[in-house]
Amino acid sequence: MLVKDENEYEDLLSEWSDLESGLGIILSSPAATQEFVHRCLQYDRWMQSLLQRDPDAGLYLLFQLASNSPVGYSASHALVCAVLCHLIAKELALPARERDSLVHAALTMNVAMTAMQDVLANQTEKPSPLQQEMIRIHPLKGAMLLGKLGVQDDDWLEIVGNHHDNSIDAGEFDSVAPCVRLSRILKMVDRYAAMISPRLSRSGRTATESARAVIANSSAQSDEIGHALMRVVGLCPPGTYVRMDSNELGVVLRRSASANLPYVAIVGSAEGHVLHEPRLHATAQGAPGIRAALPASSVRAQLNHYQILLLGNQAIAAI
């Protein structure tokens, strides 16, 4: 279902925002949440429903939210990670049970440090020794808390407990236990999503820098995960800003059949002026190409995201 008018755009935006807000509530107060596990499963189904409507529009809105503000960082980060894990699970054709354990772990991996994670996103100084200790122990503490909240899926618990553990990197991807593979996926996705998101102490990296850094720092045994991540979102996912060879400003709108040749909405002239009406450009069809990805913090222009997403209809018609 494409964005066809302003009402549909507002509905889609509000649904993603409501999903993020609801997730933020249960992560902030897990012990006070009735049927915590059931709520997690509900949010997963809601996320899948929104992605089925239009995965590119969902990625566009998520990356815009994740890269533009540190407010509500923990819930935003969890949702971005869950979406990426869902897409990678489909790309790798994981069994449904493994996919469910992975996505549920992504939604809840930081449940033991939600409040502190939001604080860290909004502080300019480095983590204190106490904060560093909380970061170190939060995976195991989170797994224990989830068990007390009623999670009976052992893989879900193990993935949360292992998502920062370097020992899971040993062994070939296809030969290790399924839970180890799933933990590796979440570990890489977690690092990638964290890099693109801003803190008050630093701007978020570009999506391209984040992808290259994560893949470069991962073990050879995790290459398949990095390649799957690049296949599903590309070096420049929907919602990320780019500088074209023509010096025009663009924002990636939709993926194409070629992972690194997306559809781009040209939103700014080479002289630095915001275009009154953005125009669609298929980079797979020729110049201008993408010269570089840009951090969201470098783009000050107020863009009409409804107008931009409307161009998606033209992209679909062209496929």
Domain CATH code at residue 109: 1.10.3210.10
Residues 51 and 123 in one domain: yes
Residues 179 and 255 in one domain: no
Separation of alpha carbons 176 and 227, rounded Å: 18
Residue 110 forms part of a structural domain:
yes
Residues 93 and 153 in one domain: yes
Residues 173 and 293 in one domain: no
Residues 187 and 247 in one domain: no
Tokens describing residue 175: 């030969």
- Do the beta carbons of residue 91 and residue 232 sit within 8 Å? yes
Residues 87 and 118 in one domain: yes
Report residue 157: phi and psi, to 5°: -65, -40
Residues 165 and 40 in one domain: yes
Residue 1 forms part of a structural domain:
no
List helix spans (H) across 122-247: 129-148, 154-162, 178-196, 207-217, 223-233
What's residue 259's pLDDT? 73
Tokens describing residue 170: 């040993």
CB-CB neighbours of 51 under 10 Å: 18
The one-letter code for the residue type at 5 is: D
What's residue 298's pLDDT? 81
Q: Which domain holds residue 73?
A: 6-233
- Do the beta carbons of residue 127 and residue 228 sit within 8 Å? no
Residues 198 and 128 in one domain: yes
The one-letter code for the residue type at 13 is: L
Domain final residue pick, 204, 233, 262: 233
Dihedral Cα 20, 23, 28, 30, nearest 10 deg: 180
Residues 169 and 303 in one domain: no
Domain final residue pick, 233, 250, 269: 233
pTM for the whole structure = 0.91
* Mean pLDDT (10-residue bins), the chain, 319 residues: 79 90 93 96 97 90 70 84 96 97 97 87 83 90 97 98 90 88 94 71 62 65 81 87 95 87 94 92 94 84 88 70
Residues 181 and 304 in one domain: no
Residues 189 and 246 in one domain: no
Domain final residue pick, 196, 216, 233: 233
Total domains, the chain: 2
Residues 170 and 53 in one domain: yes
Q: Where are the beta strands (DSSP E) in 245-301?
A: 249-254, 263-268, 274-282, 290-294
- Of 185, 190, 182, nearest in space to 98 by CA: 182
